[in-house]
Every structure is written in C-alpha cells, then in structure tokens.
A and B are shown apart, each in its own frame.
Chain A
Amino acid sequence: QVYLVESGGGVVQPGRSLRLSCAATGFSFSNYGMHWVRQAPGKGLEWVAGISGEGRSQSYIGAVKGRFSISRDNINNALFLQMDSLRPEDSAVYFCAKEYGAFDACDIWGQGALVTVSS
C-alpha cells in the first residue's frame, strides 16, 4: 500500500524554526520527485517546494526562498522541510505529495501537518 505520513507540525513563535518530516511507504521513493504544498485555514492550495528524485534539484516559491529548505533521505524513504524564520503567514496545513512522473501531477498525498506561527 502506498502512503505518506507527515509529522513535526505544531505551534511555534514568529522567528523560530520547525522541521517537518514525511515518511513514504509502498513505492520506490528515490524514483520520484516530491513536493510540499500548504493550505492556510479556509484557503486554497499553495505549492511551496519540490525536490527531484535523486535530491540534486530543489525549487521554492519566492515567499519561502532563503527561509525554507527541502531535502530527502532516500535510504530511509523520508522527505523533510526545514522552516526557519517562520512568520504568521506561514501558518497552514502542510501536505507532502508524490509526483506521478516528472512535471506531472501529484498522485499520492499525506494527511497533512498543521503549523501555527503565533506569539
């Protein structure tokens, strides 16, 4: 069975850091690009970052460039999002998602991890 499970969400003060993890099961993890997509409460979906299967290529939206870092561990089938200098506007549910193929849709999504940035 193919699934993704996020962890590491929580409440954090502005300016602090948080690291999200996503455990992958049931597929050849290193063969697929992976993404983080977030959704603020009551809002739409926003793509945040993506990483290639081998981990050599990463991309980010402008709003998080220089503050967030996406990485992966292909030995332990895990995806990460290191979030530094957090802002209240980063508060959202963060989903990890698997690419179906290169430049393709995301066919598998995790259940999401809630991040709340508040003093």
Chain B
Amino acid sequence: ELKVEQNPLFLSMQEGKNYTIYCNYSTTSDRLYWYRQDPGKSLESLFVLLSNGAVKQEGRLMASLDTKARLSTLHITAAVHDLSATYFCAVAISNQGGKLIFGQGTELSVKP
C-alpha cells in the first residue's frame, strides 16, 4: 500500500525564520505535487515536480524532489504571516493514471 507521510504535521514559526517540510513516499511515482490550503478554502497548486533532482521556486517557497530517496522537501525562506496555511504533498502513482495519494498535511502558522 502506498503511503505518503509528511513531517512535521504542525509547524509554528516566527516571521523571518527558515524551515523545511518533508514528504516521504513508499513507492515509485511519476510526479509529485505540492498544494496549499487556506482554512475553509480549496487546494491551490503550488508546484509540480517531474523528475529526480527537480527544483522549483516561487517567492519564499522552494520545492525539490529526490526520487531515489522517495523524498520531497518544501523549504520556506524568511517566513511571513501570509504563508500561514496547510501544505499538502500528493504523489501520482506510476501506471495508475491520474490517481493521487495525499499526505496528511502540514499546518503552518507564522507568527510575528
């Protein structure tokens, strides 16, 4: 059974600090997604990572993928309050089309 595990599940940060969210998965994947969800809102796509060594950056967020280690990271640089949200990684299973398996989510709170 495919498992996708995020760490940590809860993260309280001060503004200006850096931190990393980890996403481990247990089987071969075609690609990995990172989503953001604000309270009561839907999921917003942040990054799509396609291959080993892929790195993408948008503003204060940077995502990377290591398919050999089955690990993706979402790094937050100099956090600001607007980044407070829940972040999900989702893994697309090889040979199973569009099926996504989601991690539990990391609830990020950035405090002044």
Bound together = no
Chain A residues at the B interface, C-beta cutoff of 8 Å: none
